[in-house]
Amino acid sequence: MKSDCQQTTACQERKKDPIEMFHSGQLVKVCAPMVRYSKLAFRTLVRKYSCDLCYTPMIVAADFVKSTKARDSEFTTNRGDCPLIVQFAANDARILSDAARIVCPYANGIDINCGCPQRWALAEGYGACLINRPELVQDMVKQVKHQVEDPRFSVSIKIRIHDDLTRTVDLCRKAEATGVSWITVHGRTVEERHQPVHYEAIKIIKESLSIPVIANGDIRSLKEAENVWHTTGTDGVMVARGLLGNPAMFAGYEETPLKCIWDWVDIALELGTPYMCFHQHLMYMMEKITSRQEKRVFNALSSTSAVLDYLTDHYGIDWTS
């Protein structure tokens, strides 16, 4: 685990309380947990463009607790990286509590992934299979809240919905009764991938609870985010692929502005982002503003210097200024 802030001062830097944001009456704009992508550099970028709250990629709690190497590679932060939620994959309350205690000085809260539909996660008892184990979810929420002394430290869950929505409402009410801080609802079932999002289901869940709810699924612009917010009555919206393609989306841009690409280059170079990640993010960002031929050339570039030369030649972006 890497941080440029001392443990004794980190908590003082976490002044923005997500719970207060959710009760502000304003749309809370959230960057989703994305494996490989929602790391420190990308979180730093989207925060410059009106993103209110960021999640880390999903981290397997058992590995995080056991391995210093895992902590150093999976969780990097700094003083400007807040408010921040660390998302864990877990199926054991004690292990999750241990992981929460480790990150507590550096984050505003943790989130339990109860929505990942990937086969490996389900086989390990992580992710979306937890929506069928409400008692385990309750136990994990309860244990973390008991073990972490900071009363402002949040414990949230991110879920998918059941075919029978009454089961989802029951799960959410049980989590609420245990003290979960908020719930993010991806409006698809475990089996659904690209089918339309069930926003009406998210609305029903929100109306069944007293705690904040975040809507998630297929939001690609600020206008869509605002529409989903109004339609569902939720307290915030969470975006994944929409932000990958346009990190300035929450600031109202319809496509990635050149200034945002420039900012990404500066941030990524300053934080030492590995080339593969640096290049992949640019490929996503430039999807809408490049021709097929330009994509073919840009996507084949194999070094940071080649990318910087390309950007300078094609867009006049001078990263040295």
Instruction: Specify the residue for token string 């917010």.
Output: 229
116 is catalytic: yes
Was 239 annotated as part of a binding site?
no
Residue 44 neighbours by CB under 8 Å, 6+ apart:
80, 81, 267, 271
Residue 49 neighbours by CB under 8 Å, 6+ apart:
247, 248, 249, 250, 251, 253, 260
Q: What is the DSSP string of 206-273?
A: HHT-SS-EEEESS--SHHHHHHHHHHH--SEEEESHHHHH-TTGGGT-SS--HHHHHHHHHHHHHHT-
10 Å Cβ neighbour count for 269?
Answer: 14
Listed in order, strand segments (DSSP E) in the chain are 2-3, 28-31, 53-55, 59-60, 76-77, 84-89, 109-114, 154-160, 183-186, 213-216, 236-239
Was 230 annotated as part of a binding site?
no
Q: Which of 104, 116, 172, 260 is catalytic?
A: 116
Was 241 annotated as part of a binding site?
yes
Burial class of residue 123 (count of CB atoms within 10 Å of its CB; 0-12, 13-18, 19+): exposed
Give, for 293, the enclosing helix (H) or strand (E). helix 292-299
Was 283 annotated as part of a binding site?
no
Q: What is the dihedral of CA 219, 222, 224, 226, to 10 degrees?
A: 120
Q: Which two tokens stand for residue 259?
A: 């200034």
10 Å Cβ neighbour count for 248?
Answer: 24
Give the separation between CA 130 and CA 114, rounded to whole angstroms. Answer: 5
Was 35 annotated as part of a binding site?
yes
Residues involved in catalysis: 116
Residues in binding site for FMN: 33-35, 87, 186, 240-241
